[in-house]
A and B are shown apart, each in its own frame.
Chain A
Amino acid sequence: AQSVSQHNHHVILSEAASLELGCNYSYGGTVNLFWYVQYPGQHLQLLLKYFSGDPLVKGIKGFEAEFIKSKFSFNLRKPSVQWSDTAEYFCAVKETGRRALTFGSGTRLQVQP
């Protein structure tokens, strides 16, 4: 079965630090890839998505992610985090031919002022 791994469970950074959150998946076929963010007490919001084409995708709020097919990875990056980026970040994968999203366990990001 498909699995999605987010190895960083809790990340603490100071403002202006650079961020990279890891995401690896196990499916060998074609996939659609997503990053969602969940601010405290709020719903999941789409940060960015990859379907095909340029493996470097840019999302909202200065986030970007790079799809590396050979590594089955879709890491999320931001060059300079802000306190308002404090949230939980979920990587999600959809296999071709399936409708359901498989989510990683999430990474809780805490940005200290």
Chain B
Amino acid sequence: DAGVIQSPRHEVTEMGQEVTLRCKPISGHNSLFWYRQTMMRGLELLIYFNNNVPIDDSGMPEDRFSAKMPNASFSTLKIQPSEPRDSAVYFCASSRRTFLPGRPNEETQYFGPGTRLLVL
């Protein structure tokens, strides 16, 4: 089975430009997460969706960042305008949240290859 797919794998852009990162979750997964990895802050959650609905975007750094999930198989993370401090690796992860009797909280997130973003 294909894992989480992200594109592009690498992006170099200039300050002020719009950047769009894309993610295709694992088929059948109903939750999608966007994380950012930097040397200074490590891995941190930006936003997550459940059944295509944004649930928690408290990790989104500021209004320049926006994320959408128009359907179960596609999500975008957009930065407009981009700034050098946005340079990081952006990971998408997906999971299938189930509610098994006696095991309601078992959920594993699977990560994509990441997009390495460099804003000059």
* Residue count of chain A within 8 Å CB distance of chain B: 23
> Across the interface, do A43 and B113 meet the contact criterion of CB distance under 8 Å?
yes
Residue of A whose beta carbon sits closest to that of B89: A43
Point out the residues of chain A lying under 8 angstroms from B50, CB to CB.
99
* A30 CB–B CB distance under 8 Å: yes
**How close is B90's CB to chain A, nearest CB, in angstroms?**
11
Point out the residues of chain B lying under 8 angstroms from A52, CB to CB.
103, 106
* B45 CB–A CB distance under 8 Å: yes
* A42 CB–B CB distance under 8 Å: yes
* Residue count of chain B within 8 Å CB distance of chain A: 25
> Across the interface, do B91 and A43 meet the contact criterion of CB distance under 8 Å?
yes
CA distance A30 to B90 in the complex (A): 29
* A60 CB–B CB distance under 8 Å: no
* A78 CB–B CB distance under 8 Å: no
* A101 CB–B CB distance under 8 Å: yes
> Across the interface, do B114 and A100 meet the contact criterion of CB distance under 8 Å?
no
> Across the interface, do B91 and A100 meet the contact criterion of CB distance under 8 Å?
no
Q: Which of A23-51 contact B (CB under 8 A)?
A: 30, 32, 34, 36, 42-46, 49, 51
Question: Given A90-B43, A106-B42 in contact, is the A100-B108 Cβ separation under 8 Å?
Answer: no
Specify which of A99, A103, A105 is in contact with B31 (CB 8 Å cutoff). A99
- Of all A-B residue pairs in the complex, the 9 with the closest CB atoms, nearest first, are A44-B111, A103-B43, A43-B113, A100-B45, A51-B106, A105-B42, A43-B111, A96-B105, A43-B114
Chain A interface residues (CB < 8 Å from chain B)? 30, 32, 34, 36, 42-46, 49, 51-52, 90, 94, 96-97, 99-101, 103-106
Chain B interface residues (CB < 8 Å from chain A)? 31, 33, 42-45, 48, 50, 55-56, 59, 91, 93, 97, 103, 105-114
Question: Can you pick out 26 interface pairs between chain A and chain B where the beta carbons lie within 8 Å of each other?
Answer: A34-B108, A36-B111, A42-B113, A43-B111, A43-B112, A43-B113, A44-B91, A44-B93, A46-B108, A51-B103, A51-B105, A51-B106, A52-B103, A52-B106, A94-B107, A96-B105, A97-B105, A99-B33, A99-B48, A99-B50, A100-B45, A100-B48, A101-B33, A101-B45, A103-B42, A105-B42
